[in-house]
Amino acid sequence: MASAPLTPDFYHYDWDPLAAADLHGEFVHLRWTDGTELAAHGWWLRENVVAEGAVDPTTREGTLDPATFHTELAVTGAAVGTDGALELCWSDGFAGRVHPGWLRHVADQRHQVNAWLPAPEPWTGADLPEPPTFDGAAVLTDDRVLGEWLDALVRRGIGRLENLPATEETVLAVAGRVGVPRATNFGLDFPVKAEILANDQNSTANTTLRLGPHTDLPTREVPPGYQFLHCIENTVAGGWSRMTDGAAVARHLETHEPDTYEALTTLRWIFFNRSREHDHRWSGPLLDGGRDGVPLTIRAFYPVRAFPDMDEREVPRAYRAAKRFNELCADERFQIGYPFRPGDLVGFDNRRVLHGRDAFESGAGRRYLRGCYVDRDEILSRLRVLRRRAQEPSSPRSTT
């Protein structure tokens, strides 16, 4: 039996032998014994043969520039090998073998963007009275618990960790278990505390004021995907954190208040961060995307929603729609609240879940959180890897 062909990635695929391979014009029609079929274009197959002149065996990345394809390049032979692999040859004399299990995962749609991810589940206060909670100490060392927490972050948009060290380094240590933190004008990580000197405040977060439901950095073309907030100290009266699933509010509006929903999804505002040292601006609707595979991005931070970017005739209904959206986001039907305890870290989808806090008393205790941002891509990548690895054999994968 010939050696198993390498796959154009670094995952394990069960060996699922092909039953048939037939040429149909520019496509090779593949079939497995259970009747599953896949029509694979000849050029796409050429791009995915791991061999010199197609996919680099070291990086597993393609090396073919499409401009180099001859217009008449075609598969001239397709057969199932004795071991069930796909054996191919092309009109330019190139030949190669393709792993049938890798092909099968494409036929089964396991290559799609969301194939290894849980579907988002919108929630209300009745569905989720408090954040899904996990052992933070275990998340720092145990990939299984890390995967459970990340699953909650994607599925519910929120997940809390307990029992973490109440130190300034912890938030980046947790972020490092996921991927690369995203630096912003606030730095790689940032403090949230009212003791910052008044002339050095760069956010209303560093006050004792109530913060209504909002998402961070709508001033950016792509706002940070997730935010982690870690409590180091909290001895103040008040200051409870508030969370609302914006996806649930959007679904409610689309179903029950379509005119408001239309205004929120089409009328644009300019968001401007009003900083002495930075001038980030972006124009978009309060409910941005959320259809055709584009993740929902809620742009809802009223301190930086600076200018209507619409025909003046639309401004009155744009304001009324914004008012209605924030009313619902603060409604107890949709909002949950909880105190921050030292050692707690709450991660949440910054483009879906609106966060806020109650006002708290100045000078009567100390409230010190430390936060950082992690892009959505990092969360999803880490969760995919953990889920795939959980399904792989425990023995090392052969590279032959």
pLDDT tens-digit readout, 374-397: 999 999 999 999 999 888 875 333
CA–CA separation, 24 vs 28, rounded Å?
6
CA–CA separation, 75 vs 41, rounded Å?
9
On the question of pLDDT at 309 being above 50, the answer is yes
Q: Which pTM was predicted?
A: 0.90
The order of strands in the sheet holding 37-41 is 18-24, 27-32, 37-41
On the question of pLDDT at 70 being above 70, the answer is yes
On the question of pLDDT at 400 being above 60, the answer is no
On the question of pLDDT at 202 being above 60, the answer is no
CA–CA separation, 229 vs 207, rounded Å?
16
Q: Is 251 helix (H, G, I), strand (E, B) or coil?
A: helix
- What does each C-alpha distance from 65 to 61, 68, 234, 393 come to in angstroms? 12, 6, 57, 35
Q: Which amino acid, residue 372?
A: C
Q: Tell me which H or E stretch contains 161.
A: strand 158-162
pLDDT value at residue 313 = 98
On the question of pLDDT at 101 being above 70, the answer is yes
Calculate the CA dihedral of residues 344, 346, 347, 351 and round it to 10 degrees: -160
Task: Indicate the average pLDDT of the chain.
Answer: 92
